[in-house]
């Protein structure tokens, strides 16, 4: 099987349409979510790909759920939305510093490897909980948050791989990959963004995961004191026996869109003729983080994938397909273009409308794009912990989210 080509049989997991996003939103049951969210088969929302890529904003999600199921600021569902907002708060104030350890973790950074082992990437470590997580990631582009924590903890604390290596790898494969949420979550697990590392054992897996994920008689079938000693050791801890070969090809991460029948050769879609077409026109700029934007009347709808960004942050074929399918449905033109060429082309436009996103901020500076809606009124000063952030923002959480009277 060619893992680099999009598997159409998996397309129904997350159809890239506003209707699918609204259906997910309508299905949210916050009471069941609060009771079962830690279980892999619990009532989690699976809204994250639609939030990351701009089909839904955090205020829209909160307002829609609160209108059907009145919530208070301490509800687990609200709390989790708050974590996502907090990670973006940290990114706003720390910038590129979130891609380095915020402070030292269990071991110095130099103690960790900077290359992901092949058996982890292929999902054939011999540890069922890890291999199941990787196979689900490859098959769907999504993982339950508990599975992400287990995977990150295993990569960092047992295999001694630097959190940044694991975070970059997971980001590229996740349909909901968000640089702030993903990389700061890995730092939280690693202990470089939290007071202590996150560790887990076989008992924890058995409590929250279906039977095929259980990992008795494995390296994690031990107590937490032993796990802490493993985490503090510089020696990688391996599972004794692997059940498959790491030679199986794993999905690639692409710095350019893969050429599939539905995506076409996006890289050939831009030329000088297209740039001239913007002269004197109103332009609605659409990008991978604004896939739910409503059409702007009278504006040419221009979809862009910024080559500069993807040279740094490659994506799986599945994620490319998710994004490109929606952009083609939205846009009159779709460009694969470097930031400098795009800015030069837009300079001739009569007006440029669009939504800003921090993923593209370094490359789209100077364009007067609309700020994305915020869940809270953001504190002017940075908050260095979620608890401090929550104290400042939670009292006003429903100011803009209460249903109309």
Task: Quick: pLDDT tens for 172-213.
Answer: 999 999 999 999 999 999 999 999 999 999 999 999 999 999
Q: The tokens of 126 are what?
A: 């011999």
Question: What's the chain's average pLDDT?
Answer: 91
Q: The tokens of 348 are what?
A: 């001739």
Beta strand 351-354 with 333-337 is unpaired
Please, which pLDDT band fits residue 4 given cuts at 50, 70 and 90? Answer: very low
Checking if the pLDDT of 347 tops 50, the result is: yes
Q: What's the pLDDT tens digit per position in 351-379?
A: 999 999 999 999 998 888 999 888 988 89
Checking if the pLDDT of 244 tops 80, the result is: no
Q: What is the pLDDT of residue 319?
A: 96
Q: What is the pLDDT of residue 248?
A: 63
Q: What is the pLDDT of residue 132?
A: 97
Mean pLDDT of the region 222-251? 83
Q: What's the pLDDT tens digit per position in 38-88?
A: 999 999 999 999 999 999 999 999 999 999 999 998 999 999 999 999 999
Nearest Cα neighbor of 90 from 181, 169, 194 is 181
Give, in degrees to the nearest 5, the angle at Cα 372 between 339 and 320. 50
DSSP reduced 3-state for 333: strand
Q: What's the pLDDT tens digit per position in 255-293?
A: 988 875 555 567 666 677 777 889 999 999 999 999 999
SS percent in the chain: helix, strand, coil, step 5: 45, 5, 45
Checking if the pLDDT of 5 tops 50, the result is: no
Q: What is the pLDDT of residue 12?
A: 62
Q: What is the pLDDT of residue 241?
A: 59
The domains located in the chain, with CATH, are 8-99 (1.25.40.80), 109-232 (1.10.579.10), 266-354 (no CATH)
Q: The tokens of 166 are what?
A: 């694991």
Q: Is the pTM of this model over 0.85?
A: yes
Q: Which of 2-16, 111-125, 144-158, 231-245 has the lowest mean pLDDT?
A: 2-16
User: Cα separation of 45 and 78, whole Å?
Assistant: 13
Checking if the pLDDT of 316 tops 60, the result is: yes
For the beta carbon of residue 101, count every other beta carbon within 10 angstroms: 19
Q: What is the pLDDT of residue 397?
A: 76
Checking if the pLDDT of 10 tops 80, the result is: no
Sign of the CA dihedral running 321, 322, 325, 327: negative
Mean pLDDT of the region 85-92? 96
DSSP reduced 3-state for 144: coil
Q: What is the pLDDT of residue 9?
A: 42
Q: How far apart are the first and last CA of the chain?
A: 55
Mean pLDDT of the region 227-238? 96
Q: What is the pLDDT of residue 262?
A: 53
Checking if the pLDDT of 160 tops 60, the result is: yes
Checking if the pLDDT of 1 tops 50, the result is: no
Q: What is the pLDDT of residue 6?
A: 38
Checking if the pLDDT of 385 tops 80, the result is: yes
């Amino acid at each position: 099987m060619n893992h680099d080509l999009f598997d159409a049989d998996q397309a129904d997991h997350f159809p890239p349409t506003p209707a699918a996003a609204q259906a997910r939103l309508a299905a949210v049951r916050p009471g069941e979510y609060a009771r079962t969210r830690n279980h892999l088969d619990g009532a989690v929302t699976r809204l994250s790909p639609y939030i990351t890529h701009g089909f839904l904003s955090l205020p829209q999600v909160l307002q829609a759920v609160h209108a059907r199921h009145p919530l208070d600021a301490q509800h687990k569902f609200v709390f989790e939305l708050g974590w996502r907002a907090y990670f973006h708060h940290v990114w706003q104030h720390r910038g590129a510093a979130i891609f380095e350890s915020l402070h030292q973790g269990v071991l110095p950074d130099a103690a960790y490897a900077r290359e992901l082992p092949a058996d982890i990437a292929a999902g054939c470590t011999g540890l069922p909980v890890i291999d199941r997580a990787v196979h689900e990631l490859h098959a769907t582009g999504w993982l339950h948050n508990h599975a992400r924590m287990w995977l990150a903890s295993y990569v960092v604390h047992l295999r001694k791989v630097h959190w940044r290596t694991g975070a970059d790898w997971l980001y590229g494969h996740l349909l909901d990959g968000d640089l702030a949420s993903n990389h700061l979550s890995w730092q939280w697990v690693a202990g470089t963004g939290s007071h202590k590392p996150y560790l887990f054992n076989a008992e924890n897996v058995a409590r929250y995961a279906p039977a095929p994920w259980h990992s008795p008689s494995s390296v994690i079938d031990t107590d937490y004191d032993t796990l802490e000693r493993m985490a503090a050791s510089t020696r990688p801890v391996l599972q004794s026996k692997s059940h498959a070969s790491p030679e199986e090809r794993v999905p690639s991460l692409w710095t350019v869109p893969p050429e599939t029948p539905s995506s076409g050769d996006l890289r050939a879609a831009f030329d000088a003729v297209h740039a001239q077409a913007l002269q004197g026109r109103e332009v609605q700029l659409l990008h991978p983080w604004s896939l739910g934007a409503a059409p702007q009347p009278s504006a040419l709808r221009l979809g862009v994938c910024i080559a500069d960004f993807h040279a740094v942050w490659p994506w799986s074929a599945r994620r490319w397909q998710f994004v490109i399918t929606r952009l083609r449905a939205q846009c009159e033109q779709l460009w694969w273009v470097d930031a400098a060429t795009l800015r030069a082309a837009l300079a001739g436009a009569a007006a440029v409308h669009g939504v800003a996103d921090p993923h593209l901020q370094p490359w789209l500076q100077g364009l007067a794009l609309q700020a994305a809606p915020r869940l809270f009124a953001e504190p002017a000063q940075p908050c260095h912990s979620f608890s401090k952030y929550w104290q400042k923002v939670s009292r006003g959480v429903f100011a803009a989210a209460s249903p109309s009277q």
